[in-house]
Structure 1
Amino acid sequence: MTSGLILRFGLLAAFGATAGCALWNRTAPPPQSALVMPTIAAGNLIILADFPLPDDDAVRKDVESLRADLANNLQVPIEDVPIQVHLYQDADVYRQVVAQRFPQLTGRRAVFVNDASGAHVYAHWSDQVSTDLRHELTHAYLNANIGRLPLWLDEGLAEYFEVPPQPGRINPEHLPTLNGALQNGGWRPNLDRLATIDRPEAMTQLDYAESWLWIHYLMSGQQRGVITAKLAAESRQELVDPITLQIRHGNADAELAATQYLVAISRR
């Protein structure tokens, strides 16, 4: 690995990952000399890269827009928090680091970890780096500003916000997965089943896609308030009903509604 570089972007709001995962409250791993790099500039987002970062205004814009995107859509304050983003030029080097330090998360394009040393995002530079960084930094901002969320809700929000603001906000990876499962006849949305998954490594690609579907469905209509109220209550550490019950209070047959919603957005 070449000598590294830390860049701190002073005005950056955030960075996120498709099929990414999060770990909380881990014991801080021993320091690695390869990640001890000089600091230049200032800001809350600390990027540790093992290569000179290319000038990419599109990636920078996508990243800078994330914090405001979260605050505006979720209607909760999203404050700046220190986040270390570990970027690797070589995907194999990234995979080796993750396999060594977080073996249960191998196979993920990027990961978010919160340990005694703070919030960390690990990713490698690729054509999908903007998506990956927005996903994982969504985890980081939600964890820091709101706290621990049910896994499907946390991952669904990250899948939703990894796509920069645009009409429809469709995640192109998920529609084919969901429609294929629906047409094969062996799958239907099942919120109760999804809510039982409590380990990131237990989630399949279909689980990520279904989590995204629930968030997209809820954020698109009157039940958006279910999400915003849940997050506001969590940020105030208030005890409230599980969000699955709140969703069913708004629509007793939520699975049918989500299925119909999937069919509708697939035809657009």
Structure 2
Amino acid sequence: MRDCFYIYGHAMVCWFGRSLMGACLRAMQWLVLGFACVSSPMVAQAGIYKWVDAQGKVHFSDSKPVREIRDIEDFSDKYDFGRDFDVKVVVQKGVLAVDVKNRIIIVVKKIRSILQKDFQVDLSDFNSLTLVLYKDRDSVTALFNQGRKTSGDRNIPAFYRSSDNTAHVWQNRNPERMLEVISHEVTHALMRHRYQRIPTWLSEGLAEYFEQMKLSGQAIKIPISAYQIKKVKQKFDSGSFIELEQLTMLPQTVFYAKQGQGEPMYGWSGALVFYLLASEQNRAVFRRLLIHLKDPSRSDTLAKDVFETHYPGGMAQLSADFYRWLDREKFAHYY
């Protein structure tokens, strides 16, 4: 009897084990199928709609309802901000964590979205970008200097090449720092695509602005750079600060020469851009500045002309307001 019970019990255990394994496999199949559906291009390209049915019940769906309903709200553009923009990330050597890759793609698409929707920069024809990541910094520098008559800068973490629409970036071991560098270079790429000539302070200031961008759920948080503002305030407190009119008219070569000599030109430019985006009144002036960028012949005196005409009190008042603002608490911007 013991032997019979053992055999019977063993058979029951085997049957139960096979049944449990089969159930697990079926569950995994459904899970994989469900994941495939969620990840499919069809769903990724779907919209996001809020609507109210005849009984007054609120619904959310990924397709626009076809039957007669009321109060349709289309949230597609707000939440699916990159449907018309393809971002590819290529790793030359080594591997890149999936979550880091996804964050890179989100950050790049968000920058383009903010430039288009908040700053009214037309980027409708900029539909793709390839980011190439390199394991060592020397590879990026060598590629940057390729074909140049001089060795150039020996410390290049990233650059954008318009000839093939690629951004080449050093894959820093610190993912946060790598994201900052990518944000900086992508801003340059997007702005240079739209405008033939951009004042250097504006080009670098806007790139510095987006370099500080942090993901916060669906929102984007942009604080001011604590490092840069500290350097700027030190210069200001010592009395050796640059006049805004001079900053906005500096030629590119002089701007970078001063930066190389220890002047926080990136800091001054980033702080000015941050101030111009700190209130709706200032943002209106900033948008006006971008509108006038379409005329490349005026780039040298563009900022001064716009500030004199559109900032209340002109350039002198802007300078006074900006320097007072340096001593105030600076709140992060959200998009």
Q: Which moved more, 1:93-102 or 1:208-217?
A: 93-102
- Tell me how many residue pairs correspond in the alignment: 226
2:197 aligned partner: 148
Distance change in 2, residues 1:101/1:219 (3 Å) = farther
Distance of 2:303 and 2:188 partners within structure 1: 18
Return the match for 1:92 from 118, 138, 152. 138
Distance of 2:302 and 2:137 partners within structure 1: 39
Q: Indicate the structure whose relative CO is greater, using CA pairs within 8 Å and at least 6 residues apart.
A: 1
Does the CA contact (< 8 Å) of 1:223 and 1:247 recur in 2? no
Q: What does 1:50-89 correspond to in 2, within 5 Å?
A: 50-51=92-93, 52-55=95-98, 56=100, 57-79=102-124, 80-89=126-135
* Aligned-residue identity in percent: 19
Q: Which moved more, 1:77-86 or 1:119-128?
A: 77-86
Report deviation, 1:227: 2.1
Distance of 1:236 and 1:183 partners within structure 2: 37
- Whether 2:164 is the aligned partner of 1:118: answer yes
Report deviation, 1:98: 3.1
What amino acid is the match of 2:324?
Answer: Q
Looking at CA atoms only, which structure, 1 or 2, has the larger radius of gyration? 2
What amino acid is the match of 1:58?
Answer: R
Does the CA contact (< 8 Å) of 1:44 and 1:82 recur in 2? yes
Report deviation, 1:235: 4.2
- Unaligned segments of structure 2, at least 5 residues: 1-40, 45-84, 215-219
Report deviation, 1:194: 4.3
Does the CA contact (< 8 Å) of 2:140 and 2:156 recur in 1? no
Does the CA contact (< 8 Å) of 2:288 and 2:306 recur in 1? no
2:210 aligned partner: 161
Distance change in 2, residues 1:111/1:193 (3 Å) = same
2:308 aligned partner: 248
- Unaligned segments of structure 1, at least 5 residues: 1-9, 12-42
Q: Which moved more, 1:86-95 or 1:99-108?
A: 99-108
What amino acid is the match of 1:208?
Answer: Y
Does the CA contact (< 8 Å) of 2:131 and 2:166 recur in 1? yes
TM-score by length of 1: 0.71
Report deviation, 1:201: 4.1
What amino acid is the match of 1:118?
Answer: D
Does the CA contact (< 8 Å) of 1:194 and 1:207 recur in 2? no
Does the CA contact (< 8 Å) of 2:89 and 2:133 recur in 1? yes
2:326 aligned partner: 262
Distance of 1:179 and 1:148 partners within structure 2: 30
Report deviation, 1:236: 7.6
Q: Please state whether the residue corresponding to 1:159 is helix, strand or coil.
A: helix
Report deviation, 1:233: 3.7
2:231 aligned partner: 177
Report deviation, 1:63: 2.6
2:275 aligned partner: 217
What amino acid is the match of 1:228?
Answer: R
1:30 aligned partner: none
Distance of 2:107 and 2:213 partners within structure 1: 6
Report deviation, 1:156: 1.0
Report deviation, 1:211: 0.7
- Whether 2:236 is the aligned partner of 1:191: answer no
CA RMSD after TM alignment: 3.1
TM-score by length of 2: 0.58
| 1:202-245 residue CA offsets vs partner (Å, 9 max, x unmatched) | 35161111111111111113132222123234348797971222
What amino acid is the match of 1:83?
Answer: L
Distance change in 2, residues 1:198/1:49 (3 Å) = same
What amino acid is the match of 1:63?
Answer: V
| 1:44-80 residue CA offsets vs partner (Å, 9 max, x unmatched) | 4344431233211433432332211221221222233
